[in-house]
Amino acid sequence: MSKYLVRFVFGAGIALVAGIIGMAFGSKAGGLFLAFPAVLPASLTLIEEKGGREEAAIDSEGAMLGAIALVVYALLVSLTVAPWGVVISLAVSILVWAALAFALFKLVMATFHHEPAPP
């Protein structure tokens, strides 16, 4: 039970810090810190318990690559939402995010984990 409490407190603490930053420096700064995946630390500890440290490390790499792609998503939305409209901007941006996250993951797996490179 204490493991679940620690995970809950950690996630709530991240949201609290993001809220404080938002109040002190504005909603853009707070939103940037709120983007921290509060569920990730809890998930990684569960994955490590069930699958081991190597499995958790690979999952953390995937989360990092997804976050990089998410930055591209946010930039693309911010540049296209006014000229294209919300629906088209979000649809295109999510497709770009998915393609980039997948491509980055395959590239890292091929480079560092000795899997075949993507075609």
Question: From the first residue on, what is the mean pLDDT of each consecutive set of 10 residues in the chain (119 residues)?
Answer: 76 84 86 70 80 86 86 92 96 96 88 64
Candidates 52, 18, 57; CA nearest to 40 is: 57
pLDDT of 57: 86
pLDDT of 100: 95
pLDDT of 99: 96
CA dihedral of residues 64, 25, 20, 66 (deg, nearest 10): -10
Beta-carbon neighbour count of residue 100 at 10 Å? 19
Residue with tokens 């994955």, as numbered in its chain:
47
pLDDT of 104: 92
Q: State the Cα–Cα distance between residues 43 and 96, nearest whole angstrom.
A: 25
User: Buried b / exposed e across 24-63, counting CB within 10 Å, b at 16+?
Assistant: eeeeeebeebbeeebebbbebeebbeeeeeeebebbbbeb
